[in-house]
Chain A
């Protein structure tokens, strides 16, 4: 059974990767909004923002931009899953002797690969705009690890949305608050500059700890306690979203 599950997941992942290759605009649209934001903040607004750090503003900004990239990327996972459910091919899969979980995991792996490509594009543009990282190899591994966790956590949220949405718009609308969340965090400006209730929220929401950790890793600084807070958030969201998604899925297919 387990080898079947791996084989089935591989086959189905190949299928949805084909979908992406045939509409590469999904990756480009995922990357374009964050790139536009990055241009806007670095070349228009950034001059007036005092981050209280020595490095260039793009070094400060990029981690938050990466999270926004992922938040808009996973909307496509919900969208593709929703279309499968609508189109009847989902039921075809359910009536076939394939492992139950592989249908969802295929979408999750596809999301992971597509988001990693979008992230690479955004980092590439960031490098052209003067972004510089001083991370060690261990630092880079930690960065990739945190980004992968972030993609997985948000993708399972997207699976919930895709499974329970009633309309196409509903399937992707859930990602708007996720895209917006970095604005009320330390992603663009330090939280100290915000009015105290907002600052309190910003300091205690997951994006700030993740952004601060990524920023420290990129600049080769010690990460401190922040990384544990970030990991706790990421794993917490991942476990809850995964369990909930599978609960909804089991209800759906029985």
Chain B
């Protein structure tokens, strides 16, 4: 099953695209696993996800922590800490 990944702000700029559909390899169970796998996909990902701890994640448009399981996620968004208001 393919999963839609969406990027915002400097995560989007560094990866070089606003979104993509990916087929997650088996063994990617949590948000932390996903970040680790993405980081290995090339220089632009390495650059965007250099400090995974600062990356905020939403699954199906709700904030989640890095230990959250990603099974069944349709849409996973990665972004920096928010600066609205």
Say if A and B assemble together: no
